[in-house]
């Protein structure tokens, strides 16, 4: 319990990226901030984790370009399947932020971040979303 008497609720986050080093960096950063983190290395694994019996996730950080299934394909499928889908933060290397923001929101993404980014920027973005 914190001094105010309220228990801190921990958000569950799924990190999906085919780049192992980036996935581990994000996982370590978020765990050090107190988040519960699961990972997946591609869209297929993400679908398995998001549709399993224990699929309660608050937010998904997902890469746009991955083998098998893109991040956008995962977002569309989960949003069609689930009544209350998690929030989605799309990671992308696309440089035009204004155009990308409109296009991604049209596709069901809640927010996006351009790569590369600083871990502190990611944490700040997540706090704003959650």
pLDDT at 48: 92
Higher pLDDT, 103 or 63: 63
Domain-by-domain residue ranges, the chain? 12-121
**Alpha-carbon gap, residue 71 to 88, rounded angstroms:** 9
For residues 31 and 15, the answer to whether their CB atoms sit within 8 Å is no
**Alpha-carbon gap, residue 50 to 78, rounded angstroms:** 8
pLDDT at 114 over 50: yes
Structure confidence by residue, pLDDT tens digits, 14-63 = 999 999 999 999 999 999 999 999 999 999 999 999 987 666 899 999 99
pLDDT at 7: 43
- CATH number (3.20.20.70, 3.40.50.2300, 3.40.50.970, 3.10.180.10) of 12-121 reads 3.40.50.2300
**Alpha-carbon gap, residue 104 to 71, rounded angstroms:** 11
54's tokens:
């224990």
């Amino acid at each position: 319990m914190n001094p105010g008497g309220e228990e801190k609720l921990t958000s569950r986050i799924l990190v999906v990226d085919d780049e192992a080093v980036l996935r581990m960096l994000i996982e370590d950063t978020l765990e050090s901030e107190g988040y519960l983190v699961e990972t997946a290395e591609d869209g297929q694994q993400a679908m398995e984790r998001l549709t399993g019996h224990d699929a309660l996730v608050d937010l998904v950080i997902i890469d746009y370009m991955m083998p098998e299934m893109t991040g956008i394909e995962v977002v569309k499928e989960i949003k069609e399947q689930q009544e209350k889908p998690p929030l989605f933060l799309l990671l992308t290397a696309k440089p035009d932020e204004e155009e990308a923001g409109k296009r991604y929101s049209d596709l069901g993404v809640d927010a996006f971040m351009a790569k590369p980014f600083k871990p502190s920027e990611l944490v700040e973005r997540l706090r704003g979303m959650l």
